[in-house]
Amino acid sequence: MRVLYHSPGERDRRMYASTEAAKLGRGGVACLARVLGCDEKTIRRGRRDPARGAEVPTGRSRKKGAVGPRG
């Protein structure tokens, strides 16, 4: 699960984690955050991503000018 989580792009990781957390039901977000080593906010954002549509152009993982996780 960790290998799969760390292989795709940033948005895909969020959506994958949120899908797996939904399968677990109550407490799934906290459980997956511990297993995958990510923030719970990341998983919750993955739930909202499909509703907002494609915000970031294809081929990009961030909006132009966005700062990465390491600054």
Q: Are 63 and 56 in contact (CB under 8 A)?
A: yes
What helix, strand, coil percent values describe the chain, rounded to 5?
60, 0, 40
pLDDT of residue 22: 92
Polymer length in residues for the chain? 71
pLDDT of residue 37: 92
Amino acid present at 68: G
Tokens 């948005």 belong to 11
Sorted by where each begins, the domain ranges of the chain are 2-52
Phi, psi of 68 (to 5 degrees): -75, 175
6 contact partners, CB below 8 Å, separation of at least 6: 13
13-51 pLDDT tens trace = 888 899 999 999 999 999 999 999 999 999 999 888 766
